[in-house]
Structure 1
């Protein structure tokens, strides 16, 4: 990024972020804020940009990151710090 250039996220990046948000916002899912039709549309769009293997890796990465975030919140350990319990 020489000269202060800013990179714009690609459409596939936006879709991956939307998938991550839909996976981790459980309160929205329980309240039906995100409809099944919208989830189906998201899956359809994701399949245009990612292979099944790539989608599986993304799902695993998001789930693992979410697990670590919730674990850190539970034990009140800031992300990036060394666990001392």
Structure 2
């Protein structure tokens, strides 16, 4: 078994919209995106129900009082700024 360190780097943004794995999103279309929020030493996940695109997800997050600056596709791991 190979252990993979999936800990984000120290400079990883505090609020990132995450696009779920495509297979999961196909099975659960209303749960395709979530918001990863770092607050001090804790990390929480905020559901962004019914988002279809990263921009939809960002809008929903902003409506909930968050300020995401980036989004990431969990399928390829590429971080992108809004």
Q: Where on the TM-score scale, by shorter chain, does this alignment land: which range?
A: under 0.3
As a proportion of its length, which structure holds more strand? Answer: 2
As a proportion of its length, which structure holds more helix? Answer: 1
